[in-house]
Structure 1
Amino acid sequence: MADQRAELTWTEDQIPVSDRFDDPYFSLQNGLEETRHVFLAGNDLPVRFAPGFRIAELGFGTGLNMLTVWSEWEKAGQTTPLTFTSFEAFPMVPEDMTRALEAFPELAPWADRFLARWEGGTCDLGTLHLEVIEGDARQTLPAWKGKADAWFLDGFSPAKNPELWGGDLMQQVADHTAKGGTAATYTAAGIVRRGLEEAGFTVTRTPGYGRKRHMTRAIRE
């Protein structure tokens, strides 16, 4: 699984679409603003930032979510490392990642630093300790020894990528969440909300970004 790479088609406005899942990697309207709305605000960030903060993610994709939160971490004046761990079954090659991230010039200072060092696996960028764990999260997440203060659940649509939203995997997310930790996702699909609730999260449906009426926020009390 880990040696498989993302296969892409590019829309006319240069948004990468997964051939495997027939789903775009970020919002067709504004991927950066969606990330801020769903994953940052959805996890009460950057208000909760503190030294030693840990974020975990299902679906690394282009790296957009990581770059967005890393930029906010530095803007908030944090000088210690943010720990960011992402689980990705079909990694994007750096050349495609570079092309995709050109859509977000606001993030260029962070994207340039990241791409200059990125070779897969782990990457120490001073104020960011990044690890991308390749392979099927249903196998790799149970083996992970870490815990997260916030989760970004950013797999492809549950209708197209159900493997990344099953109840067993949501239980693993809960088991790897610190007390008082949170999770957020763009989807409000019933299967996702129920899976999070059954795993022990308190789940709230809140307004989504753009054309998406609702999204999901969760907290592990």
Structure 2
Amino acid sequence: MQDQSAGVEWRGAVPVSTRFDDPYFSLHDGLAETRHVFLAGNGLPARFRPGFHIAELGFGTGLNLLAALALWRASGQAGLLRYTSFEAWPLPAEAMRRAQAGFPVLAPLAEDLAPHWGTPAIRLPDLDFRLVEGDARRTLPDWAGQADAWFLDGFAPAKNPELWEPALLAEVARHTAMGGTAATYTAAGHVRRALAAAGFEVTRAPGYGAKRHMTRARLA
């Protein structure tokens, strides 16, 4: 079934972008993929501390935010988790809620955040979230923040090359705290080379599901 207004068609509970012809998360288990690639891939929760800042290219359904906040709470952290996401094509709130409904374990948290979808900022006692709308190639250079961990979650490089350009990944490095990390599901050679050229120490790691490899990076 296709929702033309949202630029989404549905394969069961999984939304697929009609603009990029790519699913928003794994057809197998999007939450397990997020936990493996973005949370474990950035050494979380071991690196959490009050004020820890996650930044993300590609907000999508909000699944990564929910998973990160759930882990933050489960790990007993005090203070705020800061989370900034850059998204050119925000999904309508209803599409986000529908996608999140496929993960019952996150239901209480999804219900708490549901009223806030469609707004550029969410402030809770343990969360400071900002959504930066627009092409990240233009919005990231003007961002004043620095991230401790990056979730590089654009659509596949072959289908969404704009989010994997060397100049943008250099901006990711420029907006990363020293010793900060980045992780992504892709192990494409040109992505790894661009991250290395930007100053990251890059490692190819076991991927999730059918993907044999993923990429982890640390700013030296």
Which bin holds the TM-score, normalised by the shorter protein? over 0.9
Q: How many Å separate the matches in 2 of 1:119 and 1:190?
A: 35
Change (3 A) 1:6 1:183: farther
Give how far 1:109 is off. Answer: 1.2
Residue identity opposite 2:102 in structure 1? A
Identity of aligned residues (%): 62
Q: Secondary structure at the match of 2:191?
A: helix
Residue identity opposite 2:88 in structure 1? A
Task: Give the TM-score taking structure 1 as reference length.
Answer: 0.96
1:36 maps to 2:31: no
Task: Give the TM-score taking structure 2 as reference length.
Answer: 0.96
Q: How many Å separate the matches in 2 of 1:106 and 1:210?
A: 20
List gaps (5 residues or longer) in structure 1.
none
CA displacement 1:50-88 (0-9 Å, x = unmatched): 011000000000000010010000111113110000000
Give how far 1:119 is off. Answer: 3.2
Residue identity opposite 1:206 in structure 2? A
Find the counterpart in structure 1 of residue 123 from structure 2: 124
Q: How many Å separate the matches in 1 of 2:24 and 2:103?
A: 13
RMSD (Å) for aligned C-alpha atoms: 0.9
Note if contact 1:6-1:90 (Cα within 8 Å) is conserved in structure 2: no
1:207 maps to 2:206: yes
Find the counterpart in structure 1 of residue 88 from structure 2: 89
Find the counterpart in structure 1 of residue 10 from structure 2: 10
Q: How does 1:152-191 map to 2 (within 5 A)?
A: 152-191=151-190
Q: How many Å separate the matches in 1 of 2:108 and 2:48?
A: 21
Which runs of structure 1 show a deviation greater than 6 angstroms over 4 or more consecutive aligned residues?
A: none
Q: Secondary structure at the match of 1:50?
A: coil
Q: How many Å separate the matches in 2 of 1:183 and 1:6?
A: 29
